Chains A and B, each alone.
Chain A
């Protein structure tokens, strides 16, 4: 039962990263790929109807984490207090940037919110990457399963590491580069003309960054947290996840060159999904490893809620997710094709 919920939450977080990832990516890039008002409205038109729904995956994943693994939720949210609050403020500012821009027709108003949208998206991508870095590296859990990390200390990995050290910052940059390519692929798929060309160009450069940074973090993770390979040596089938990521990486290079934008987008999506699944597979059954003493590590078993609650939750959760996937299919279907801008939108 705990394993099912571990997979369910990993699935929701992967959905979040893939879906909100492309609108974060659009935010990272839009100042560069879209230079005038019309081009920026095209970018916003491409993500406008869906970004809010994409973000709901984060909320729903948070809620599901809360009910399935209450101690994990409580421990990680209080321990990562400051970065989470900063993420919240960034999410707010970024959301306002998207939604408020079109209410006042003045270039200064628009430039201001465009910049807010870009800065918010860039910092969020870095923070999300760094958050994953913290989970891989481990945190100083006490015997009750709680901890508190300052934002930064000495930028070295141990001991008493802050949220940001060289490893987690590097993971943050992986996040930034990956979402940049992902967003570029999405925009190339949804737009035409100069925005499309610029997006393709960004993707073709940035994908090298993704490759270099991914290799670097792979080596770094293996040296900081060698246990990450244990599950792979015991269960050979787990290599399917890195393989998916590898194919995604290859696809990002190939389809960018052949200008098959939709396939390039699916490639970056499978790269993200594969990378996250690989990490989750390597960590299991830990969900928050302790850097203090491995017996304090939080696992799916010592943080799970009661058996009855998890069982009954599985019923409504499955129904709810099927319905939600239905909405998303319909929503993306009804806004399919290239973006056309008109005045009752963005």
Chain B
């Protein structure tokens, strides 16, 4: 049973982590493509129009892989988490079905028009198609966050006679107070990823002295979108999300911050390794009283540590939760620094020749992926030991009829399949970037 639980969890964690590498780029990139097309429509700049065409190619590759790796997510609710689905399907099935009916149909229909219909549609309608693809992907994100928000903070339900939950308020589910910050934080996080990706390709072109006109456009677009999104992702959205956790999952908050003991004037831990045996943080580096201040705006406020809660409700993997959270916050802080420096040099007209900073921009693009992934791990590990917070424990949600051996078989299958998909993805993206935006123009003109 223990084995089976671990394998069910590993398979879901692996497939969702891999999947989210793709939508996190497309949701942000969708917005940037709409902006590029908007500028092209307004100014008539063929460079901007062709930049949009180039990024649409990268978008299409990401979108295709996002779609194929997304299908297993919906399936796994039923295949691996049957008791959870029987229990909660009446509520979260609503948002998942709405995603299919409202967002997927919209995205898939307009994607075909967006990718293949530029000549047929003309510039205005084509801009509209791009906008609808962007809107569809953000709508899809909303339904997924609404689903996750219900698992983090269940609302609008009642327990029926057979022990499952039934929906009592449609708008209660869709306007769960947990959604606001989680949604904005997640979406802006994806804009951060897209900004860094666009800036990185631009920096590469400038450093390599190829396609320099496009290099400048990409760096400019990436840096402007980047400075706005890196700040918004921390404040107010990140801060708001931490307050959600503090108010509704206080034990998770203590574990994220690595706070073992309840104390007044609690320090903010920057670095340190949790030692679960001795219940303390090894090699800590902290700012005294800062956690109390950030949490309650009062230097001496009392912050509840893990000791304030029964151990059976502690998150099951506190070190990984703590690291995930600190990796996310640490990287997020560095992102703000990189983008502020870039904007500063851009305003002084020196960014395009500032080679050290261009190198940093070029090499930084993997880190937003890590930060976004770490953020989701924080949310999901933080919810443990609950599958639905306070209502159903993870151990009670699995499919009882699926044996550990069968789950291991499919986990290995997914590992192999995703390895191949990952290689193909890299091959195609590298090929597209090497071919450059002029190739996008050529294939359009044919």
Q: Is the CB of A63 within 8 A of B75?
A: no
Number of A-B contacts (CB under 8 A): 218
Contact, CB under 8 Å: A77 / B79: yes
Is A238 an interface position by the 8 A CB rule? no
A159 beta carbon closer than 8 Å to chain B: no
Are A78 and B82 closer than 8 Å at their CB atoms? yes
Inter-chain contact A78/B109, CB cutoff 8 Å: no
**CB of B117 within 8 Å of the partner chain:** yes
State how many angstroms separate the Cβ of B85 from the closest Cβ of chain A: 4
Contact (Cβ within 8 A) B93 A66: yes
Partner of A53, one of B84, B108, B399: B108
Identify the closest chain B residue to A335 (Cβ).
B112
Stretch at the interface among B98-106, B295-303, B310-318, B326-334: B98-106
Which of B65-73, B278-286, B335-343 lies on the face that meets chain A?
Answer: B65-73
What is the CA–CA distance of A34 and B80 in the complex, to the nearest angstrom? 40
Cβ 8 A contact of A331, one of B104, B109, B164: B109
State which size class the interface on B falls in: 35 or more
CB distance from B351 to the nearest CB of A (A): 33
B221-279 with Cβ < 8 A to chain A: none
**Alpha-carbon distance A266/B119, docked complex (angstroms):** 30
Contacts of B401 in A (CB 8 A): 78-79, 81, 146-148
| Residues in B whose Cβ lies below 8 Å from that of A74 | 78, 81-86, 89, 399
Interface of chain B: mostly helix, strand, loop or mixed = helix
A182 to B409, CA, bound (A): 35
Q: Which residue of B lies closest to A70 (CB)?
A: B89
Nearest CB in chain A to that of B112: its residue: A49
Considering the complex, give the chain B residue whose CB is closest to the CB of A92: B68
Say yes or no: is A104 at the interface (Cβ < 8 Å to chain B): yes
Contact B424 A70 (CB under 8 A): no
Contact present for B100 and A56 (CB under 8 Å): yes
Which A residues, 35 to 94, have Cβ-Cβ distances below 8 Å to chain B? 48-50, 52-53, 55-56, 59-64, 66-68, 70-71, 73-79, 81-82, 84-85, 88-89, 91-92
Q: A123-131, A219-227, A242-250, A313-321: which one contacts chain B?
A: A313-321
B104 touches A92 (CB 8 A): no
Contacts of A324 in B (CB 8 A): 101, 105
Q: How far in angstroms is the closest Cβ of chain A from B128? A: 12
Output the nearest chain B residue to A93 by Cβ-Cβ distance: B417
Indicate whether A282 reaches chain B with its CB closer than 8 angstroms. Answer: no
Cα–Cα distance between A50 and B168 once the two chains are bound (Å):
37
Verify A48–B116 contact, CB threshold 8 A. yes
Q: Please, which residues of chain A bring their CB within 8 A of the CB of B443?
A: 343-344
Closest residue of B by beta carbon distance from A309: B167
Q: In the bound complex, what is the Cα–Cα distance between A76 and B236 (angstroms)? A: 43
Q: Mark B408-446, 1 if CB is under 8 A from A, else 0.
A: 011001000100010010001001000000000001101
CB contacts under 8 Å to B, within A314-337, are 316-317, 320-321, 323-324, 327-328, 330-331, 334-335
Q: Could you tell me the distance in whole angstroms from the C-beta of B219 to the nearest C-beta in chain A? A: 26
Can you list 23 A-B contacts with CB-CB less than 8 angstroms, sorted by A residue number?
A: A53-B105, A56-B108, A59-B100, A66-B85, A70-B89, A74-B84, A77-B77, A81-B399, A85-B75, A95-B68, A96-B68, A96-B424, A100-B64, A100-B424, A306-B160, A308-B167, A309-B167, A312-B94, A321-B101, A327-B106, A334-B113, A342-B446, A344-B446
Closest 10 CB pairs of A and B: A70-B89, A67-B93, A77-B78, A306-B166, A305-B90, A60-B100, A320-B101, A63-B97, A78-B399, A148-B401
Interface residues of A (CB under 8 A from B): 48-50, 52-53, 55-56, 59-64, 66-68, 70-71, 73-79, 81-82, 84-85, 88-89, 91-92, 95-96, 99-100, 103-104, 145-148, 305-309, 312-313, 316-317, 320-321, 323-324, 327-328, 330-331, 334-335, 342-345
Extra A-B contacts (14), CB below 8 Å, given A67-B92, A96-B421, A103-B431: A56-B105, A60-B105, A64-B97, A73-B78, A74-B82, A74-B84, A77-B79, A77-B82, A79-B401, A99-B64, A146-B82, A148-B403, A320-B102, A328-B109
